[in-house]
Chains A and B, each alone.
Chain A
Amino acid sequence: MNLIMAILIGALYTTGVYLLLRRSIVKLVLGILFLSFATNLLLFFTGGLTALSPAFDDGTITDFSVLSDPLPQALILTAIVIGFGLASFSMVLIYRFFKETGTVDLDELSDIEK
């Protein structure tokens, strides 16, 4: 499970970086979203949530020390909310960007600059 998760997180980071390096501003924003998803997952698994150490007590648990650390879940909740805010701001920004410049290509940006 941990190995699968590690690979998944790595894949998400890779996708994010790949998208960030593209020229389209839409892909740029998607890349940022992927980076933040990957980071949230990374944070989630710092709590050590596995089959042997569940997150909740369903009434069958006698030894409470096996429960996984709940704090990372609170942390990613905060991180997700912040991520949503930033994502919506980026969306509005690229929409305004497109309306003002008429392009989604970042390379044309430097041409406009001159």
Chain B
Amino acid sequence: MLLFLPLLIPLLTIILLLANSKNLRYQHFISVSSVVGQLIVAIAIMRKVSLVDIVVSQVGSWEAPAGITFLADYTSAILVLAVAIIAVISIFYSIGFVDKVRQRGGLFILYQGLLLGVNGSFLTADIFNLYVWFEVMLISSFVLITLGAAKQQLRGSVKYLVMNLIGSSLFLAAIGLIYSQLGTLNMADIALKLQQNGSTPLINSALMLFFIAFGIKAAVFPFFFWLPASYPTPPIAITAFFGATLTKVGVYVMLRFYSLFAYINEPYWQPVIFVVAGLTMVFGALMAASSYDIRKILSFHIISQIGYMLMGIGLYSVIGLAGALFFVVHNMFSKTATFMAAGLIRQFQGSYDLKKLGGLYKARPLLAFLFLIPALSLAGIPPTSGFFGKLFLIYAGFDAQDWTITIVALFVSIITLFSMIKIWNEAAWKPAPQNLDQESVSGNVNPIAFGASIVITVLTLSLGLTVFWTFGYFTEASRQLLDNQIYIDAVLNSVSTNLN
């Protein structure tokens, strides 16, 4: 039952919110209580997983290969918890930041829809069910990205829509291929049958279709162009929430599919993943270095950092996978924090364009630090979480003697540092330009959004400082991923315990 709460709470909230969508006070109250409820449930799941290792629920008590299974292991529990924390902060930030028209237009309803899809994707153990959760997530994100229908939003959303719909078609086609080959949709059952039959050529083509479909969602190398075109267009509160959830779900599914299905063909998949990971890192970082819009720079860095996560998946060792997972969580926090700080800078100085900004450190030192801390974390300066994330990945890379990808990862860190310093120099240190458009400069920031931004920055910092305490959870998660027999047994054998 516990596993269904992260799905039932958003669903109920949507119904409650629809009942009175014009009353903003009502919307705020229900949304905040809903995300706080989800946070409590996520903590409860994490606690239960740390006691029993893996929690399995069979929907409607239908036995495993026939019915749909929901499952939380360490990986899922960590990610559900991280998303729940981000959701609480994002809701507060949005209350303070997003304009009233968009708030009345259903912003909070769509947030809950997004959370429903994200939680569902993390917890399900059935590939068709996963497809449905992806669509729930996608349709909410489509509406969120176009909400308000400003001209530039429509422009960005066309690319976003088309790429993601192509991805969905490929995903569905791959499900068809898997089903026709193995006659099952349950992820544990597929993994078991693949172990027994060995791999066939058609399985690899289905997995390649999956890889492309999730590659589009995660914005990896050849498929990333929709992200910088669409992410900077909606209000930045929405972008911050997107950056923490959507691409990360793509990475999570790749992680899961690699550990259950693709590892069988590791000699084939490892080079593919390394090449894609390396190119993703380099292209994202280089394109960020050449941009002058804060939102564009940060969006390109999302892409670059997806490359690091893929690298961890490709390494496929205890430290590598734990590092990748840690990097996902680090990125959720740091990225949200930088986006939120950028939004505050915009409120304060009226622009996202670095050429029009300046003098922030002199005028509002606290605001400047709110940006600096997560930015240094993204670049990987100790003692921030980004440093530890990269440390684990690079350690794993040297350990596995995959020199090329490791050196590329180190090199990309320097470019990342360069563009973070560029934002810092231009926005905070450079004297304010004279020809500032005085009308758009409010000189104020919203206190609620400011508070939310402080909280996320503190969390980002503490993720790095408490790493020796939390890293046990991440290594535990990666042990479970490496030994997929645990997953298979948990899903397929929980039947007997249910029936007895």
- Residues of A in contact with B (beta carbons under 8 Å apart): 20, 25, 28, 32, 35-36, 38-40, 42-43, 45-46, 48, 69, 71-72, 75, 78-79, 82, 85-86, 89-90, 93-94, 96-97, 100-101, 106, 109, 112-113
Contacts and interface: CB of A to CB of B under 8 A. Distances in A.
B279 interface: no
A75 B135 CA distance: 14
A97 B248 CA distance: 29
**Top 9 A-B residue pairs of the complex, sorted by shortest distance between their CB atoms:** A46-B180, A43-B176, A35-B169, A46-B176, A39-B169, A39-B172, A32-B165, A82-B135, A39-B173
Given A43-B175, A78-B132, A82-B132, A35 B154 contact: no
Given A82-B132, A93-B157, A97-B154, A43 B172 contact: yes
B272 interface: no
Contact of A93 (B138, B161, B169, B180): B161
A72 B185 CA distance: 11
B410 to A, nearest CB: 35
B155 A69 contact: no
Contact of B183 (A28, A69, A101): A69
A113 B158 CA distance: 13
Contacts of B185: 71
Contacts of B407: none
The range of chain B's interface size is 20 to 34
B128 interface: yes
Contacts of B154: 93, 96-97, 100-101
A17 B275 CA distance: 26
A96 B157 CA distance: 11
Contact of A75 (B128, B151, B183): B128
Contacts, number: 89
A79 B172 contact: yes
A100 B183 CA distance: 48
Nearest to A85: B139
A93 B149 CA distance: 9
B179 interface: yes
Contacts of A86: 135, 138-139, 142, 165, 168
Interface string B319-352: 0000000000000000000000000000000000
A98 B128 CA distance: 35
A33 B131 CA distance: 18
Which of B152, B154, B157: most chain A CB closer than 10 A?
Answer: B154
B8 interface: no
Contacts of A69: 183
Contacts of B152: 113
B162 interface: yes
B151 A101 contact: yes
B166 A20 contact: yes
A97 B139 CA distance: 18
A109 B155 CA distance: 7
Nearest to A75: B128
23 contacts: A20-B162, A28-B162, A39-B172, A40-B172, A42-B173, A43-B176, A43-B179, A71-B185, A75-B175, A78-B128, A79-B131, A82-B132, A86-B138, A90-B161, A93-B142, A93-B146, A93-B158, A93-B161, A94-B158, A97-B154, A100-B154, A109-B155, A113-B155
B113 to A, nearest CB: 12
Contacts of B18: none
A3 B467 CA distance: 58
B370 to A, nearest CB: 30
A79 to B, nearest CB: 6
B101 interface: no
B153 to A, nearest CB: 9
A48 B405 CA distance: 44
Given A85-B139, A93-B146, A112 B161 contact: no
Contacts of A100: 149, 151, 154
Contacts of B146: 93, 96
A46 B165 contact: no
B143 interface: yes
Given A39-B173, A69-B183, A25 B158 contact: yes
Contacts of B132: 78, 82
A109 B157 CA distance: 12
Given A25-B158, A109-B155, 20 more contacts: A28-B162, A32-B166, A36-B169, A38-B169, A43-B176, A46-B177, A71-B179, A72-B179, A75-B179, A78-B132, A82-B132, A82-B135, A86-B142, A89-B142, A89-B161, A93-B154, A93-B158, A93-B161, A112-B155, A113-B152
